[in-house]
Amino acid sequence: MTIPWTPRRTEFEFRRLSGLLAPAVPVAATLSAWDAGEPELALEDLVDQLSDHHTPLLRADRAALLDLAEALGVSAGATSALRWCPDLEAAEEWWWEVENSPRATAIASELLREIAPGHPLHGIPLTPWLECGACDDVLVRLDDENARTGRTPYRIAVIHPTWSRRPETPPSPAANVYDQALHALDQLETCFHSTPNKD
């Protein structure tokens, strides 16, 4: 039996799910949108905050967020945004965030050594963002001048460093560039989609 989405249940579930945000993430704007009678905007903001911070989710909480999004008519955006939230119940981590960490510094240094003249990414500043949990693939943001100044959106690449600590012969290290981050995430998760018993 499906429980109907009454206004009281909807608000209770929204406030409960708002508690998933880390203490450092401001939730006031999200709650004020709800209190102002804009539940759709409030839920979209909550999902965006969870996604932006790669908040790990239990499957029941992910399902509750998607159910609430469907009840409020904003499920399309929620489904894609929540892909950036790791599954706490997965047998293995599919990927983890490395941006602004010592690991990101090590990856960036290695890519700077490996990506030689003639490689499509040579000379483009790269920011390591996510690292695959099963192989050496890394998802990086291409910080070219046009993206940094807001003239164009950031492009994303998935690169497979060789960890040779020397310049490689192009096209090595292997790299695929994407205009949409979700397409890059699809590639980063390929290891787990193609390997049996990965959850």
Residue extents of the structural domains in the chain? 7-84, 95-194
The phi, psi pair for 132, rounded to 5°, reads -65, 145
* pLDDT at position 8 over 60: yes
CA distance 173 to 51: 29
CA distance 131 to 103: 9
Cis geometry, peptide bond prior to residue 173 (ω within 30 degrees of 0) = yes
Whether the Cβ atoms of residue 159 and residue 137 lie closer than 8 Å to each other: yes
Check residues 121 and 93 and name the one with the higher pLDDT.
Answer: 121
Q: How far is CA 56 from CA 22, 39, 83, 109, 165, in A?
A: 10, 23, 10, 28, 33
Angle at 4 between CA 41 and CA 66, to 5 degrees: 45
> Within 13 Å, how many C-alpha atoms sit on residue 77's CB side?
15
- Laid out side by side, the sheet with 138-142 consists of 95-97, 126-132, 138-142, 155-160, 174-178
Residue 2: what pLDDT? 66
* pLDDT at position 67 over 50: yes
Q: Nearest CA to 46 among 67, 7, 23, 19?
A: 19
Q: What is the mean pLDDT of the chain?
A: 88
Task: Quote the distance between the C-alpha of residue 120 and its chain's center.
Answer: 24
For residue 145, name the pLDDT band (cuts at 50, 70, 90).
confident
pTM given for the model: 0.71
Whether the Cβ atoms of residue 18 and residue 65 lie closer than 8 Å to each other: no
Predicted confidence (pLDDT) per residue in 155-197, tens digit:
999 999 999 999 999 999 999 999 988 888 888 888 765 554 4
β partners of residue 103: none
